[in-house]
A and B are shown apart, each in its own frame.
Chain A
Amino acid sequence: MSQPSLTLPTPGQQAGRNRRLLEILGAAAIAATFIYLVLTQPADIAGGLGSVSALVAMGGFLLGAVLLIVGVLPTLPTSTVVLIPVALVLNIVLGQLMGTSGLPFYLDSIGTVLIAVLAGPAAGAATGALSSIVWSLINPTVLPFAAGAALIGFLAGTAARYGLFRRFYFAPVAGFLTGIVAGVVSAPIAAFVFGGTSGAGTGAIVSAFRAMGDTLLAAITKQALISDPMDKAIVFTIAAVLVYALPRRTTLQFPFVRRYHVLAGKEPAKRNA
């Protein structure tokens, strides 16, 4: 009977490279889809349903999101993986509540941003994509927005990586900028797949722009540029409040937080208990 090893082997290079490839392919699929949609946009609305655009939008963005998930998930430590369901429930419950409130905000990415701040851009992107996919089991209309949600997680993690969560007033600024990008990327989905937005509040804003003669994509993009930056500024602020409420022992468990000194505070904290 041979003795099994009690220690972990050093991670193999080949497996890591394959995962990296999946991540890059995922990001490329999302980028290519977006570019295609923007380029073909003018012909579309006049042609009626634009079913090819809808297929491309759904297929491309969904494929990208799934590749990202498959690439990123196995690399995450278990402490991050078990936190993802908590983040998803936060996203889904708050998102569902806001969707019926009539306010032009979503608040459906607090959990995603929380994970991104604690575990980094890759974890944030995977959480965003997973959030849309799991939420779609009870609200299928969010499924096509998986790529946008992944982007929000990625950008939030990047903001944390470069210290924007170390100062409280930077968090809403980072959120505002993330919102601009996220809004522009999500607008084609709303336009081509659903022909509008699902909320009553956001619908009113789109109608206003349409009344001024904008194309549907332009109107929805402008609406997104009004709603999303504000929404993400709020979301980033709430996430910052929550992260700073956590005990340091908990936040410092995350290698990402330790390595990039994501949160303000002395290190190590002086305790006298």
Chain B
Amino acid sequence: MAPRLNPLTTLTAAAAVLVITTAAASWVVSLTVAAGAVLLAGVTGAARRVFLAAGVILAPFWLSLLVMHGLFFPEGRSVLASWGPARVTTEGLGFAVDMGLRTSAFVLVLLLFSFSVRVPELVAALATLRLPPQFGYVLASTLMLAPIIAARLEKVRQAQESRGLVVGKGVGNRLGAVRLQMVPLVLGLVHDAGIRAQALDARGFRRTGPRTTYTQVRDSPAQRGFRIVAVLLAAAAVAVRIAASLSRGQA
């Protein structure tokens, strides 16, 4: 990706694809979208992180779906096999595959977006949408806080072990250790937040007037046009789906 796209463009594209996929409600479309996301991830070089995160989320989800609907689907008619109360039905398996593919597409597309976007650019772009500035702050701060908090938890653990707080084996001991570590962690974070709030106020965070951004985010008429088309396509997909379901009665 030589010239970077505006984060709003990629966000709109991701959202439109998801709406269209949901409206289409067909495993073929879901599979195509998921495959497309995988392909794009490969091209942009985010593949490793996207697959890793998607695997962690989707593996238990698929397992849960297959057990749930593969074995127990009371609405199913064509029974393939049965053991006591458990019945494997074509309908159940089909439902599991439909839902699984749709969720896979959903997860892959959004992960591709979040792993390819640069957070400061996204925050700057969101600021132009006239969303409250607090929203951009919360988004950026959360993503930047995570590694800081992890490092801090490690420091708390080291300091406490050095003080002689031994982590025992039993569940009670573990829970006790979690309490001992959580309290200084949360206390420290809340304390820091209190001071940071005063600093932000002094730096004009609560001013109500218009704001500008120092970070420049690339945009172009072509990208603006694309965003409008994407939103229209998504709206059309929803409209078609609703019309279809109305004509079929209730579904």
A246-B135 Cα distance, complex, nearest whole Å:
26
Within 8 A of A (CB), among B130-165: 131-132, 134-135, 137-139, 141-143, 145-146, 149
Within 8 A of A (CB), among B69-127: 69, 71-75, 85-86, 95-96, 98-100, 102-103, 106-107, 109-111, 114
Within 8 A of B (CB), among A220-273: 241-242, 245-247, 250, 253
Contact among A58, A134, A247 for B138, CB-based, below 8 A: A134
The reply to whether B145 and A43 contact each other, CB–CB distance below 8 Å, is no
When distances are taken between beta carbons in the complex, the residues of chain B under 8 Å from A93 are: 146, 149
Knowing A89-B149, A198-B61, say if A242 contacts B69 (CB, 8 Å). Answer: no
Whether A182 is near chain B, meaning CB under 8 Å from some CB there, is: no
Q: Which of A79-87, A146-154, A171-179 contacts B (4 or more CB under 8 A)?
A: A79-87
When distances are taken between beta carbons in the complex, the residues of chain A under 8 Å from B134 are: 73-74, 76, 81
**In chain B, what residue has the closest Cβ to A203?**
B64
**In chain A, what residue has the closest Cβ to B206?**
A78
Whether B213 is near chain A, meaning CB under 8 Å from some CB there, is: no
Contact among B25, B141, B182, B191 for A51, CB-based, below 8 A: B25
The reply to whether B64 and A199 contact each other, CB–CB distance below 8 Å, is yes
Interface footprint category on B:
35 or more
A197-B100 Cα distance, complex, nearest whole Å:
11
Instruction: Report B123 CB to chain A, min CB distance, Å.
Output: 12
A206-B70 Cα distance, complex, nearest whole Å:
13
When distances are taken between beta carbons in the complex, the residues of chain B under 8 Å from A70 are: 131-132, 135
Contact among B186, B193, B251 for A90, CB-based, below 8 A: B186
A241-B187 Cα distance, complex, nearest whole Å:
12
Q: Which of B40-48, B194-202, B214-222 contacts A (4 or more CB under 8 A)?
A: B194-202
The reply to whether A46 and B64 contact each other, CB–CB distance below 8 Å, is no
A92-B100 Cα distance, complex, nearest whole Å:
23
Whether A204 is near chain B, meaning CB under 8 Å from some CB there, is: yes
Contact among A43, A100, A211 for B251, CB-based, below 8 A: A43
Within 8 A of B (CB), among A27-46: 40, 43-46
Instruction: Report A84 CB to chain B, min CB distance, Å.
Output: 5
When distances are taken between beta carbons in the complex, the residues of chain A under 8 Å from B99 are: 49, 194-196
A143-B110 Cα distance, complex, nearest whole Å:
10
Contact among B22, B72, B142, B242 for A54, CB-based, below 8 A: B22
Whether B232 is near chain A, meaning CB under 8 Å from some CB there, is: no
The reply to whether A86 and B68 contact each other, CB–CB distance below 8 Å, is no
Whether A139 is near chain B, meaning CB under 8 Å from some CB there, is: yes
The reply to whether A204 and B67 contact each other, CB–CB distance below 8 Å, is yes
**In chain B, what residue has the closest Cβ to A12?**
B208
The reply to whether A78 and B95 contact each other, CB–CB distance below 8 Å, is no
Contact among A45, A86, A136, A253 for B189, CB-based, below 8 A: A86
A259-B138 Cα distance, complex, nearest whole Å:
26
Q: How many A-B residue pairs have CB under 8 A?
A: 197
Chain A, residues 35-79, CB within 8 Å of chain B (1/0): the string is 000001001111111111011001000000000011001101111
When distances are taken between beta carbons in the complex, the residues of chain B under 8 Å from A90 are: 186
**In chain B, what residue has the closest Cβ to A51?**
B25
Select the residue from A69, A195, A203 with max chain B CB neighbours within 10 A: A195
Whether B233 is near chain A, meaning CB under 8 Å from some CB there, is: no
A155-B48 Cα distance, complex, nearest whole Å:
40
Q: Which of B52-60, B166-174, B223-231 contacts A (4 or more CB under 8 A)?
A: B52-60
Whether A130 is near chain B, meaning CB under 8 Å from some CB there, is: yes
Whether B190 is near chain A, meaning CB under 8 Å from some CB there, is: yes
The reply to whether A88 and B142 contact each other, CB–CB distance below 8 Å, is yes
When distances are taken between beta carbons in the complex, the residues of chain B under 8 Å from A242 are: 182-183, 186
The reply to whether A82 and B196 contact each other, CB–CB distance below 8 Å, is yes
The reply to whether B74 and A139 contact each other, CB–CB distance below 8 Å, is no
Whether B245 is near chain A, meaning CB under 8 Å from some CB there, is: yes
Whether A158 is near chain B, meaning CB under 8 Å from some CB there, is: no
The reply to whether B110 and A100 contact each other, CB–CB distance below 8 Å, is no
When distances are taken between beta carbons in the complex, the residues of chain B under 8 Å from A197 are: 64
Whether B65 is near chain A, meaning CB under 8 Å from some CB there, is: yes
When distances are taken between beta carbons in the complex, the residues of chain B under 8 Å from A253 are: 194
The reply to whether B132 and A79 contact each other, CB–CB distance below 8 Å, is no
The reply to whether A196 and B98 contact each other, CB–CB distance below 8 Å, is no
A163-B205 Cα distance, complex, nearest whole Å:
32
Whether B19 is near chain A, meaning CB under 8 Å from some CB there, is: yes
When distances are taken between beta carbons in the complex, the residues of chain A under 8 Å from B64 are: 196-200, 202-203
What are some 21 contacts across the A-B interface (CB < 8 A)? A45-B75, A54-B25, A73-B132, A73-B134, A81-B200, A82-B196, A85-B141, A86-B193, A89-B149, A137-B143, A141-B106, A195-B69, A196-B61, A198-B60, A198-B64, A203-B64, A210-B73, A211-B86, A241-B179, A242-B183, A246-B190
Q: Sorted from nearest, which 9 A-B pairs have the closest CB atoms?
A: A195-B99, A203-B64, A51-B25, A140-B110, A210-B72, A85-B141, A137-B114, A79-B197, A47-B251
